[in-house]
Amino acid sequence: MNVLVTGGAGFIGSHLVDKLLEDGHRITALDLFTEGKNQHVRDKKTKGYFRLIKADISRSEEVKPHFFKNIDWVFHLAGRSNIVPSIEDPVGYHHANVTGTINILEASRYAKIKKFVYAASSSCYGIPDKYPTSETAEIRPQYPYAFTKYLGEQYVLHYHNVYKLPVVSLRLFNVYGPRIRTYGTYGPVFSIFLAQKLKNKPFTVVGDGSQARDFTYVTDVVDAFITAAKSDISGEVFNVGSGGTYSVNDLVKLIGGPVIYIPRRPGEPNCTFADITKIKRDLHWKPNISFKEGIEKVMRNISYWEKSPVWTPSKIRKATKDWFKYLS
Provide the annotated active-site residues. Answer: 145
Rounded Cα gap, residues 152 and 99, in angstroms: 8
Q: CA nearest 274: which of 167, 170, 194?
A: 170
167-172 vs 73-76, strand pairing mode: unpaired
Rounded Cα gap, residues 123 and 15, in angstroms: 22
3-state secondary structure of 241: coil
Q: Cα angle at 275 between 243 and 205, to 5 degrees? A: 60
3-state secondary structure of 4: strand
Rounded Cα gap, residues 16 and 9, in angstroms: 10
Write the DSSP symbol of residue 133.
Answer: B
Cβ proximity of 108 and 68 under 8 Å = yes
Cβ proximity of 47 and 21 under 8 Å = yes
